[in-house]
Amino acid sequence: MTTPRLDRIRNCLEAGLRPDNLELIDDSHHHAGHEGARDGRGHFRVYIVSKQFATMRPLQRHQLVYRTLGDLMQTDIHALSISAFTPDEAQSRQPGLINPR
């Protein structure tokens, strides 16, 4: 199920990183009552594959994702788990991120 918040996050990542693959999961329901959830921001997981990560270390990839999301990190996102890969790295892994909790 998609929500306006998920659409904003997805649109931002697609426009900024032109991913080959993007999976976005809203885990906010697992954090109901959590301190960070009280202000309305959510908890998310993202699996993203982009050529732009080719020369970057993992920390640099995460920083790029955070910069790409910009203000959404302050207005919509409390916590973000990032799995960021190049296309070559993604080929050698099991497809996708989605491991239900």
- Residue pLDDT, tens place only, 18-52: 999 999 999 886 555 556 555 667 999 999 999 99
Average pLDDT, the chain: 86
Q: Could you tell me if residue 65 is inside a domain?
A: yes
Q: Could you tell me if residue 29 is inside a domain?
A: yes
What SS3 state is found at 68? helix
A 10 A CB-CB count for 47 gives: 22
Global pTM value: 0.83
Q: Could you tell me if residue 9 is inside a domain?
A: yes
Identity at 74, one-letter amino acid code: Q
Question: CATH number of the domain that 15 lies in?
Answer: 3.30.300.90
Q: Could you tell me if residue 99 is inside a domain?
A: no
Unique residue bearing structure tokens 């329901």: 29
Q: Could you tell me if residue 39 is inside a domain?
A: yes
Residue 83: pLDDT over 90 = yes
Q: Could you tell me if residue 97 is inside a domain?
A: no
Domain that holds residue 50: 4-91
